[in-house]
Each structure stands twice: as structure tokens, then as C-alpha cells.
Amino acid sequence: MEVIILPNLEKAALLTARIIEKELRAKPELVMGMATGRTMECVYKYLVEMHRKENLDFCRCRTFNLDQYIGLPSDHPNSYLQYMQEQFFNLVNIDPTCTHLPNGMASDLRWECRSYEALIQAAGGIDVQLLGIGASGHIGFNEPISALASRTREKALTPSTREQNAELFGGDVNKVPNRAITMGVGTILEAKRCILVATGHAKASILAKAVEGPITSMVTASALQLHPNCQVIVDEDAASLLQGREYYRWIFQNEVEWVEFQDMDALDIR
């Protein structure tokens, strides 16, 4: 795991987008694992700008979203398909037939989860998986005590996750579905590369547990400590409770692989 600390959400999102850009230019048929949520909006904003101003080409890439609420029709304003279309799919030249989300309206949810796993396998696995972290420590919707070897499946959401997302449902927690389909922790760990983005004071405590605490199903993001190619890109606020901040900064400033990403002004969209 590598932790990269940047001044704010904008810079964290820009670096994340630049890393994805590099992967995509090297492999145009990249399989991207997508996340939703407020943190990711800024990452998608930069990818869209790179498409518009720097000809970043998404026409051959494939995408798989982490999760989807159960029981929300795909045209519901809070469905993750709507989110992805508004934030990303409709704004770049991606082929809609190459974008995938679990279907939370499937009549046979078990079958839906198994087929989603099979689709990921058939695509050759996920090359780069984007992740946020929830107040409950979740990645995807892998809530506390999710098996660390879990696969795509149905999951009941914790009260804290439903509260975290209530704002998007007009502030009414009762409108937030209580179940979702999510890729499992095991599914996520099979991605070739994982990038977790976390910003803001509200994430500081759970991020410290995920990065520096023990690996535990109580904080499923901590399972990323097992991943051989995982970057955690955070702002100063989210990093504020990390014990190893100075060491992480030193690594980012000194490791050869990061040289091309160190000058944040140079990373700006031209």
C-alpha cells in the first residue's frame, strides 16, 4: 500500500485521474472498476476534461461499477446508473454496451450476482479499481463483518451508511434503500490495481483504521493492506490522524515511480 497526501480534494482527484489516464493510454481496452459517491465526482470531472481537452479516448475501455441499490429502478434519480450517466458515461465517448452495473431490480438477485462475477472474469478481470471509503469503513457496500473473501452478493446496509447517503435522498434516511448488490471484498482484491480516494475530516478516523489498523472485517477497507498494488490518495484533512504521514510524504517525493506525478501544476489539464 502507498499513501499519497495532497493538499485538497481537487489535487487528490487530479492525481487519481492522471494515473487512470496513464493506464488507459497504455491499454485502450482497459477494464475500469468504477465507484460512485461525492468523492468520485471530482475524479470524473477531471477525466471528462481530459477527454475534451486532451483527447483521452474511452471508446475501447470497459467498466464495471462496484455496486447498486436493490429496488431502485435504473431511471430513479438516485440509481447509480443515473449517477454514472450524469457524471461520466454521457460526457465521454464510452460505448454504453461496454459499461456494466449490477441490476438491483433483477428478479433473481443471486443469479444476477453470479453473472456479474462471470462478466468481470470474461472481460479479463479489472485492471484499475476506483474506491471510496464509507463512514462504516466499507469499500463498495462491504459493510462491517463482510467476509474478506466475499464475492458479488446482496448486502444489508448499516444505519451509518444509510445516514451518510440520506443527503442524496432529500435528507430522508427512510428513502435510502436498505439493501444493495456489491462486488465482494474478494472480488475487489482481485483487481490488478486499486486506488482508494478519501478526503475531508470526516474520513480521518476511519481512514487511519483502514490504513494503519489491523486487517479486520469490521473495516473492510483494511483488506486493501493485502493488495500488492494499492494507492490510497488522500487530502491533508483525511490524512490528519495517520501516524506515518511524514514517511508517506517522503516516499511520494523520493520513489522513482512518482517523479512524473510530483509537480501538481504540470498535472493540470491543458
Any contact of residue 66 with ligand F6R (CB under 6 A)?
A: yes
Q: Which is nearer to ligand F6R, 85 or 262 (CB)?
A: 85
- Nearer Cβ to ligand F6R, position 119 or 251? 119
Question: Which residue's CB is nearer to ligand F6R, number 132 or number 177?
Answer: 132
Choosing from 33, 37, 104, 184, the residue that interacts with ligand F6R (CB under 6 A) is 37
Edge-to-edge, what's the strand order for the sheet holding 67-69? Answer: 67-69, 179-182, 153-156
- The answer to whether 133 touches 91, Cβ cutoff 8 Å, is no
DSSP at 262? S
At residue 10, what is the residue type? E
Which span sits near ligand F6R by CB under 6 A: 37-45, 69-77, 147-155, 256-264? 37-45
Q: Is residue 39 involved in binding ligand F6R (CB under 6 A)? A: yes
| Nearer CB in complex with ligand F6R: 202/266 | 202
Q: 214: exposed, middle or buried (C-beta count within 10 Å: 0-12, 13-18, 19+)?
A: exposed
Residue 16 Cβ vs ligand F6R, minimum distance, rounded to whole Å: 12
The answer to whether residue 33 forms part of the interface with ligand F6R (CB under 6 A) is no
179 binds ligand F6R (CB under 6 A): no
Residue with cell 482484491: 189
Q: E strands within 149-263?
A: 153-156, 179-182, 193-198, 230-235
35 contributes a contact to ligand F6R by CB under 6 A = yes
208/228 Cα distance (integer angstroms): 19
Encode burial over 67-92: b for 16+ CB neighbours within 10 A, e otherwise.
bbbbebeeeeebbbbbbbbebbbebb
Cβ–Cβ under 8 Å, residues 207 and 241: yes
Contact call for residue 188 and ligand F6R (CB under 6 A): no
Shortest distance (Å) from residue 260 CB to ligand F6R: 27
CA gap 266, 120 in Å, rounded: 35
Q: How far is the CB of 168 from ligand F6R (least distance, A)?
A: 8
Q: Is 222 in the site for ligand F6R (CB under 6 A)?
A: no
Show the site string, 118-157: x = touches ligand F6R by CB under 6 A, - = not. --------------xxx---xxx-----------------
User: 173-196 burial by CB neighbour count: b if 16+ within 10 A, else e?
Assistant: eeebbbebbbbbbbbbbbbbbbbb
- Contact with ligand F6R (CB under 6 A): which of 14, 24, 31, 36? 36
- Work out whether 45 is an interface residue with ligand F6R (CB under 6 A): no
CB of 250 vs ligand F6R, minimal distance in Å:
28
Task: Tell me the C-alpha distance between 179 and 200, whole Å.
Answer: 26
The minimum distance between CB 138 and ligand F6R, in angstroms, equals 5
Instruction: Tell me which residues touch ligand F6R (CB under 6 A).
Output: 35-39, 66-67, 132-134, 138-140
